[in-house]
Each structure stands twice: as C-alpha cells, then as structure tokens.
Amino acid sequence: MTPISGARRPYMSLFWSRINPRSKRATKQFTQSFSTFPLDPDTLGNLVLSKDVQEFHAIGGVTGLEEGLRTDVHSGLSLDETYLGAPANIAASTISTAPTEKTAISELPMSINLHRDAFVDRRKFFGDNRLPIKPSPSFLSLMWAAYNDHVLFLLTGAAIISLALGLYQTFGTKHTPDNPPVEWVEGVAILVAIVVITLAGAANDYQKECKFRKLNRKQQDRNVWVLRSARIHEVPISDVVVGDIVHISPGDIVPADGVLIRGHQVKCDESSATGESDPVDKTPIDTRPGGSREIDPFILSHTKIVEGVGAYLVLATGTKSSYGRILLSLDTDPGFTPLQVRLSNLAKNIAHFGALAALVLFVILFIKFCVGLRNSTESASEKGQSFLNVFILALTVVVIAVPEGLPLAVTLALSFATTRMMRDHNLVRQLRACETMGQATDICSDKTGTLTQNQMTVVSGFFGVTSQFTDRVSSPDILDEESTLSVAKCMNHLSSQSRSLLRQSIAINSTAIESRYGGGRQFLGSQTEAALLRFSQDYLELGQLEFDRASEEVVDVLPFDASRKYMITVVKMANGVYRSYVKGAPEILIEKCVATIAQPMQGLSTAPITEYGIEQIRQTIAQYASRSLRTIAICFRDVEELPSRDEEETVSFEDLMKEFTFLGILGLRDPLRADAWSAVDTSHKAGLTVRMVTGDNLLTARAIAEECGIINSPDDLVMEGDKFRALDESQQKELVPRLKVLARSRPDDKRVLVQRLKDLGRVVAVTGDGTNDAPALAVADIGFSMGISGTEIAREASSIVLMDDTFSSIVKAIMWGRAVSDAVKKFLQFQITITFTSVGLAFVSAVANSSQESVLTPVQLMWVNLFQDTLAALALATDPPPRRILDRKPEPTSTPLITPTMWKMIIGQSVYQMVVTLVLYFAGSSIFSYHGAFQTSQLQTAVFNTYVWMQIFNMYNNRQIERSFNLIEGIHHNWLFIAITCIMMGAQILIMFVGGRAFSITKLTGDQWAYSIILGAISIPQ
C-alpha cells in the first residue's frame, strides 16, 4: 500500500523501522475451540472501558493478546491473512496469521486497496470499523414533511368539498352546450396543484439530502498508518481491524479502541469520552508479565492525541468501540445556519401578513356573500359553490403569501455552493461557514504550505564557526559568493567524524520515516524533517534510515512542539554515555550552547563558544532570514547520567536543556506559491486584511510577507509573539489593526489575535494545520484547516478544509460565501415582489368585483406559487459568482436582509405589475374595444398570461442585485437557470393552449399574445 507522500505527520519511525529480535517465549498451545479467536469482542471492549490493568494481565498481557488475536506486536498482521482456522501457536511463525489451505494467495503487491477476502474471518468475528449511518428519509416521508402544513390541509379539504359539489353539479344537474359538465375540473386542478407543489418540495429536499450525505461521507474519510507484514501502510479508518498495530502522533483522532504498546510522552484529550478537559498521560503497557498496575495504557476511540508519538494494539472497532457504543455524532443533524434562521423569521412575518390579508379578504367577501343571498336566484348547490369559491380564494392567498421558497432558497444556495466549492478544493464541514465567509474582513494565515509550497530544501548551512555552504542553483541571490562553498565541496571538506555526527543528529532526532515503494526512496513526515533527511542522503552518506536508527539505543524522546520549538532524542552510546540530539529554533538553542566544534574539517574537538562566535552565528541567521530561509539549529550534549524527575523514572528534559555543544545551522528554502501574490492582492481588493502568523523568526517572516504582498505600507507592523504577549488587552486592541505579521508565535498567540480582532467587530478567518491551532480555529468565525498537511484535531476544529492547502482556495471560498448571500437576496427580491402583487391583486380585484372573483383564479395563483417557491429558487440560487464579486467590500454583519436598493426594485416592480394587471382587468375592455363574452374571456386569459410573463422576465432583473444592466452576464455558466426559464416558458405556453377549464383559459389571438409578452418584457428596465 503506497503511502501518500504529501501527508505531514510526525511519524516516529523507531517504532516501525527497527524491529527488535523477538524474545523467546514459551510455546503455549490453546485448547481447540469452535471460535476462530479465543477472545470475544465484548470482553475486549469492556476491558478498554474499564481500564483495568489487572484484568489485562489476567488474560495474559501483551503475549496473551498476541496469541488471542493472532497478531504480532513487532510486525503486525499479515497482508496474506484471509480465512483462518482454529487458534494456533504463532510464537515461532515469521508472520502472525498465515492463510489456511482454503485459499492460496501469492505475495501481494503493495497497494492501497485490499483484496476482497482480506481479513474476512477477522472482520466477521470482531466486526469492521464502520459506524452505522443514520438512514436517509424516504421520498414518501419527505413528501409528508412537505405536505405537513395546516394551510395545505385546509386547502385540500376545501378542494375535496369543491370536487364533491362539482361532481354533484356535473352529474346531478342539466347542462346546455354553452355550459358543459366540467364543474369538477376546478377541484381536481387544485388537488393536482397541491400534489405538484408537494412533489417539487420533496424532490428538492431529497436532492439536498443526497448532496449533504455525500459531503458528510467526504468529511469522514481519513487515513491512518498501520503496521502490517513488518511494513508501514496507510489505510482508510474503515479498514482498521482488531489486531492491527496503529501509529499515533500529535493531532491524530484515534480510529479504534486499543492498548498502547510503545510510545513517548503520549497524552490524550479524552473529553469527548469522559468529559474531562485535562489531557491524560498514557504509559505503554509493560510487555513483561506482572508489570506495573498504576498506569493507563488504554486508548479510547475518537479521542485526540495532543502530544507524543507511539503505537497501539487495536482491541475494539466500530460499534464495539467506546465511541461506537456511546455516540454516533458524525451523523447528527447539523441544524440551521444563522441565515436560515433569519430567513425563517422573515418568512413567518410575510406569512402573517398574508394570513391577515386573507382574513380581511374573507370577512369582506363573506359579508358581501351574505348580503347577496337575499336577492340571489342560485340553487343551494350553486350558493354552496359560491361560498367555497370565497373560502378557496382566501386560502389560496394564504398559500401564495407563505414563502416556503425562502428557506428552500438558502438551503439550495448552500447546497450548491458546498458542492461547487469541492471543485475549488474547499470541503465545507459546517454550513454556517459558507455564508459567514462572504462577510469576512480579516484572514490570519499560516505561512508554510499555505503561502509557500511546503517543499523544503536545504540550501545553506553553517558548521562550527568556519564552514559555510550555499546551494547556488537554489539560491542565486546569495550575498557573498567567495566566502561560501558549494554543498558538495563543503561536505567533502568536513571530517568523517563531523559528517557522521551530523548524519546521526539528523537521522536519529527525527520523526520522519522512509518509504521505498515503486523502486524509489522518499521521506514521509513534516517537510522540514524530510528536507533534512534528503540532505543527509545526498551529502552525508545516509543509507537505509532504519539501519541507522536500529544501531542506536533510544532512551527517550521529546517530540517537537510549537510552544517549545525544539525536539530532543536521548540515546545511550556504546561507551555508556548518554547523548542528547537537539534541533530547533536557533534563538532558543544558541542561548543554551557553551561550546562549539572548533575545527569541523579536522575532527570533533570542541572549544568554548565566544561572544564573537555567537555574534557570527546570529549574523548568519539574520542573513538566512533575509533570504526567506527557515533556520534550524543542531546541537548535542553528552552526560554520564541522565537527570530524572523526583517521583518518576522518566528523563527530566528541563535539566537537559543546557550546556549544549553547537554543531551547525541549516537554512531551508520553501518557495512561495506561484499564485500567492495574486491571491493576497485579490483579497486586498475585496476589502480583506491579510495577516500572517508563523513560527519563523522575524526577519524570515518579514521577507516572506513582503514577497507575497502582505506588507504593502510603511505603517504595517511586524511583531514577535513574546512582545505581543507582553501587551495588555487594550494595547493589543490598539495595535492589531496595523499588525500584519506575528512571528515566532505560539499557538495561543493566534487565538488571542483572533479574539482581539473579533472584539473590534471584525469577521475573522483563520488557517491552521497543527494540533495547537485548534483553539484559534474554534474561536474564529471561519476556521480553515489543511487537508494535506493538517492534523485530524485541526480538521475537527475547523469549519472548512482546504484540500490543496493553498491560499488561493480561501479566496474562492470568499467568492462562494458572497455568492450565497447574493443568491438569497436575488430570490428575496423575486419572492416578495410576487407576494405583494399576488396578494394585492387578489384582494383588490375580489373586493371590487361584483361577483367576488379575483383577477387570477385559485388554480392560476397556485401555478404562480409553484414557480415562485420552487422553480425560481432553483434558478436564482444556483448562479455561480462572477469574478467582479470580489471588487466590492464585505458587508457588515448588521446589514439587513433587504437593503434600500432591493426595496427600490421590489416597490418599482410591484407598482408596475399591479398597475398593468389592474388596468387590463378593469379597463382592458374599453382599451381594446372588447364587448362580447368571448372577448371578455380572452381578456381574462390575457391578464393571466401577461402577469406570468412579467414574473418570467423579472427573474432576469433579479439576477443582478447591483446596479448593472447586463442581465445575462455569466448566464451561460448557469445551465439550470436557462433550463428552468425554458420550463417556465414552455409550461406557460402549454397551459395557454391546453389549460382549458382547469386554468380558466380561452385561446388568445396573435395580437393578444404580442401585448402579453411585450408588457412582460417592459418590466426588465425597471
């Protein structure tokens, strides 16, 4: 299985590469059992939950688990395992789980994909590492949810009564040729309209469910490193099985329950399982029988590794794990976003307005109906039908006024944006981030991997106080060519002892691992450590990494941490001396140095380091930093006895941090991304302030910031983290508007910076990749984690994952965030215009008409309601953002949903549509000299036709919420808008020709068609 070379993980390869010789174990034959494994899943799951070390030793400790799970803690499971027979002794086997005679499989090629029968018996017995997925709602349940509205219930009841009366009139009364038996049609038409609206709403909800489920699955996809057949493999968490040896490192989220068998300084955040916020120390279980009982070696699934590196044996997976038993939180309902809540409240207010108008309309029409009964000559059934018509019209006004499309529009816009953002390498984990991103005012970005390429290369170096080199190919901008040697020449001048010490310092004190898949060699882990190992391979005669590490007896390790900014590995030399290899930030380690290699070209003789020597080193560091190089100091210290903590036998690293011998400084170049400058410049034009927060020193950070355009004014401020921390809150608030670069920062500095910006009313986006970035990602309005170089904890704390780790993807997220806001505003304009005009027209015309009939029949209003609530939402919510969307400043969070510009459009369109419709309705006969009943019926049809065409053309008006007359800008990128426009036009034409009695349609002439469409098109310039 080929590991992904880009993954940035601090893998402690001494756990994997160096396979210690197996201790001689007595052969212990298990009693023949009907079960493939002597240990059942429930027993193992309960063991982890109880954290009972005595029970652990009672089942045989690590040896008992090895035999009971048919695995090996040194080489892991076998890639050849498929079907298993009865338990057998595997102590003398070279692999832990050989296949039985049932299958004969040759040696597998290294591939990320397992064959179908891999670990089949193991999965069948212990289960796989999948949590049950919450079932999607069925289409029928979505239909019920769309229909489950009291207004639709009332309308359905009224339609059924109308249908019953219509059937009675159709079959129970006499008809003339001028009065055909079609009274039942209106009731059926209303029922059909209700069904269509319900189906459309359910279809949209179903599509939304499918899209979000797909996105959720993508969010949950992640890989872990396991040891199988004595080699490291990267596999999806769903492929982890009981008996696997899984590697853990800072930032990982534990994929399954287990017990720690190897590790250094491992601490877990178990708050998700126990509620305790303090990290819990994890101690490797003693592999010797009768080991200490006062330890906690148990690793719980879905907890977070906050510190240390190690390897653990998987004991429970999937539903048998502690997380699987407690919570299926990855499939919980994401809830509503703030914009959805605001729109829902607005929709309720509009619905209340419609309900009030409908109530008033019903009261007026009912009074008129009661007054008219005295002189009415209609039959009882006809009077009943007249009352039902009044009631249905009032209910239809309520249906028209209820803007179901508002929540639907924002849901569709968010769904569409999140899907399209995936193409732009943005994986949205929290929907609220989609809309918040459009209001962002500040971006606090990392440097490495986001603004730069995260492809480190050693290009300069400084050893002792005399030897210096620069790679002129990678660094053509060197300042002094005569005083520096090429890399190869400098390395050849070093003595063999100096090269050996430098090689060991890099190879041993590292968490990177070596991969040799595909015939080549590559180093996996942090880019800084991989660059150092490539340097050792090219110039220091580094052979196979595991051989160098296997020759050393590692005593303890203090992994690199962003707050410490250094790493220590302690080894025991052959002569009994303990040597500490140290690497880290030069400004920290230089202060701890008391000696240096006097003549690295001749040997390892040391000399006290002088003030002049320290000043030389500092000048070299400043020179490297001015060339945008990351500097790493390498030191060591030899002691006869290791200092230990008072009550524990562990190494006291605090006491080791002194009296170092300086070995050298290495300068690493991480080239700026090609699109970094343009992305930062685009952000500035969009009204965003870009700030860089980095662990690099001040000069390096300034050089990078100037190179990518973050610093563009003499007033811009560059500050180190310790000085920022020394300020009080008021001083920090005063400085942060001008602060563009925060160098040598600690993780908490980023969180404080974000909090101060938020206190000033800014909307802040933050990027982060490490475990310690999680607090800043969580407190930010929008947290961007790194999909390639980020840790699992960072991704869990973030709201959006940058799948390509680039700053330009953040700019694309801003575009889509603004597009979501624009889509909602577009639909809001359209929706409110239709609501005002439909309710107003129905009210005025019904009250003014002697027969109490509306200018638009209930069925016609239902058709308008269908495309205002569903079709228009689809069309207007799916416009991709134009590039010029970044030319405007971000909107404040206090901006109302309906801006003054929008109100102008709504009022202008409403007035125009109502005037045209009412003039045609009341004065059309006079204007066009219509006298007969047929021409009057044509006029009524033309009024309906004109009104619908005004809505279709008004959709084009609403594609622009800015002052732009180019209404078809970018329309070719939105095929859905074009398709829905064609559907609306086609459906309207179809209704006009075959709608008949159901839609109260009379065939129109060419002239009538012409003025209907022309009057509709005139709405565009409004």
Kindly state the tokens that stand for 927: 């204007």
Residue 919 vs residues 650, 661, 845, 915, 1003: alpha-carbon distances, Å: 92, 95, 11, 6, 21
DSSP letters spanning 591-641:
GGEEEEES-TTT---EEEPPHHHHHHHHHHHHHHHHTTEEEEEEEEEEESS
Calculate helix-pair angle for 380-401, 338-373, nearest 10 degrees.
160
Kindly state the tokens that stand for 123: 């999965």
Q: Quick one: DSSP state of residue 712?
A: -
Closest CA to 664 of 464, 466, 528, 457: 464
Q: Which helix (H) or strand (E) holds 774?
A: helix 774-779
Amino acid found at 381: S
Strand partners, 305: 268
CA distance 438 to 589: 44
CA distance 452 to 449: 5
Closest CA to 694 of 594, 562, 564: 562
CB 452 within 8 A of CB 676: yes
Percentages (nearest 5) of helix, strand, coil residues in the chain: 50, 15, 35
Q: E-assigned strands of 408-490?
A: 426-428, 442-445, 457-463, 467-470
CB 309 within 8 A of CB 10: yes
CA distance 127 to 240: 10
CA distance 728 to 1008: 75
Residue 205 vs residues 138, 202, 415, 936: alpha-carbon distances, Å: 10, 5, 11, 42
Amino acid found at 418: T
205 is catalytic: no
CA distance 554 to 542: 19
Closest CA to 73 of 126, 25, 1, 16: 16
> Do you know the residue count of the chain?
1022
Q: E-assigned strands of 438-515?
A: 442-445, 457-463, 467-470, 513-515
CA distance 888 to 963: 12
Kindly state the tokens that stand for 695: 């662990």
CB 224 within 8 A of CB 234: yes
DSSP letters spanning 643-675:
-B-SSSSSB-HHHHSSSEEEEEEEEEE-PBPTT
Residue with tokens 């006290």: 608
Residue 478 vs residues 491, 532, 670, 770, 883: alpha-carbon distances, Å: 19, 21, 16, 32, 40
Catalytic residue (choose from 205, 446, 670, 869): 446
DSSP SS3 for 288: coil
Contacts of 458 (CB under 8 A, 6+ apart): 471, 487, 531, 532, 534, 535, 666, 667, 668
Active-site residue list: 446
